[in-house]
A and B are shown apart, each in its own frame.
Chain A
Amino acid sequence: DIVMTQSPDSLAVSLGERATINCKSSQSVLYSANNKNYLAWYQQKPGQPPKLLIYWASTRESGVPDRFSGSGSGTDFTLTISSLQAEDVAIYYCQQYYSTPGGFTFGQGTRLEIK
């Protein structure tokens, strides 16, 4: 199994400041045949299901504010919120979908709070 490890486990950032969450996979999730990274990011607020933010490591889902961006390749990835808003308080998860079928795995989550 590909193990996904996020850092930090929790993060407190001031409103309007940048938030950065890291995700590392135990093996590469870059598929050489199409040069795509099989990595997604989700946001989960209390009492709600996860919401897809980013897929293919850097493609923003429709309707997701452009302050959210994803970057990285291979085994190291980053979710960046450029200017933190109050509504961004949530737990964020990365997920690899390189392993198929059904071998996808999630990171343990990063809790983002307001400082």
Chain B
Amino acid sequence: QLQLQESGPGLVKPSETLSLTCTVSGGSISSTNHYWGWIRQPPGKGLEWIGSIYYSGSTYYNPSLKSRVLISVDTSKNQFSLKVSSVTAADTAVYYCARPAVPGDHWYFDLWGRGTLVTVSS
């Protein structure tokens, strides 16, 4: 059974770079035609898509975050990663990795990690 697990520091200082990794278990990240995504949720607020990556490295980013976000993939480790630079308190959120239910371009998500809270504070 395919599972996703986020990992990374829970506390990041303002102006620094947030780095998270999503480990895929129970299947290969490169065996399907899915894009693998990052979605975040500030405390008490709604969901915001950050970006997504294909196992080949092709990426799509939310235009509102694109200048600060980098998503990469390591197929040998069955992982994909997120970096958000120049963070502020507004980047404090639960960060989820997720996979769409079906391959292709139209993404609704049936598989989510448990999420990891990242707090931006000095």
Q: Which residues of B contact A93 (CB under 8 A)?
A: 46-47
Which has the most chain B C-beta neighbours within 10 Å: A52, A107, A108?
A52
The residue that B35 contacts in the complex, of A40, A55, A101, with Cβ under 8 A, is A101
Of B14-22, B72-80, B100-108, the one contacting chain A is B100-108
User: B106 to A97, Cβ gap below 8 A?
Assistant: yes
- Shortest distance from the beta carbon of B82 to any chain A beta carbon, whole Å: 14
Smallest Cβ distance from B118 to chain A, in angstroms? Answer: 15
- Looking at the assembled complex, report how far the CB atom of B98 sits from the nearest CB atom of chain A, in whole angstroms: 8
Q: Is the CB of A49 within 8 A of B49?
A: no
Asked, given contacts A50-B109, A101-B107, A102-B52, whether A107 binds B114 with beta carbons under 8 Å apart, the answer is no
- Flag B19-55 by CB within 8 Å of A: 1 or 0 each: 0000000000000000100000000001111011000
| CB neighbours of A108 from chain B (8 A) | 46
How many chain-A residues does the 8 Å CB contact rule pick out? Answer: 22
**Do residues B106 and A95 form an inter-chain contact, with CB atoms below 8 A?**
no
- Residues of the B chain whose Cβ atoms lie less than 8 Å from the Cβ of A104: 49, 106-108
Residue of A55, A93, A104, A109 with most chain B CB atoms under a 10 A cut-off = A104
**Residue from A51, A102, A104 whose CB has the most chain B CB atoms within 10 Å:** A102
- Who on chain A is nearest to B106 by CB? A97
A32 located at the interface, meaning its Cβ lies under 8 Å from any Cβ of chain B in the complex? no
Assess the A102–B47 pair: CB atoms within 8 A.
no
Given the interface pairs A93-B46, A101-B105, A106-B46, the reply to whether A49 lies near B62 with Cβ below 8 Å is no
Measured between beta carbons, the chain A residues less than 8 angstroms from B48 are 106
What are the residues of chain B within 8 A of A95 when measuring CB–CB? Answer: 47, 108
Nearest CB in chain B to that of A56: its residue = B108
Q: How far is the CA of A108 from the CA of B61 in the complex (A)?
A: 20
Residues in A neighbouring B112, C-beta threshold 8 A: 49-51
Q: Answer whether residue A76 sits at the interface, using C-beta atoms and an 8 A cutoff.
A: no
Asked if B61 contacts A102 (CB within 8 A), the reply is yes
Report the separation of the CA atoms of residues A101 and B34 in the bound assembly, to the nearest whole angstrom: 12
* A-B contacts, 17 listed (Cβ < 8 Å): A38-B106, A40-B108, A49-B98, A49-B112, A49-B114, A49-B115, A50-B109, A52-B108, A93-B46, A93-B47, A95-B47, A97-B107, A101-B107, A102-B52, A102-B60, A104-B49, A109-B46
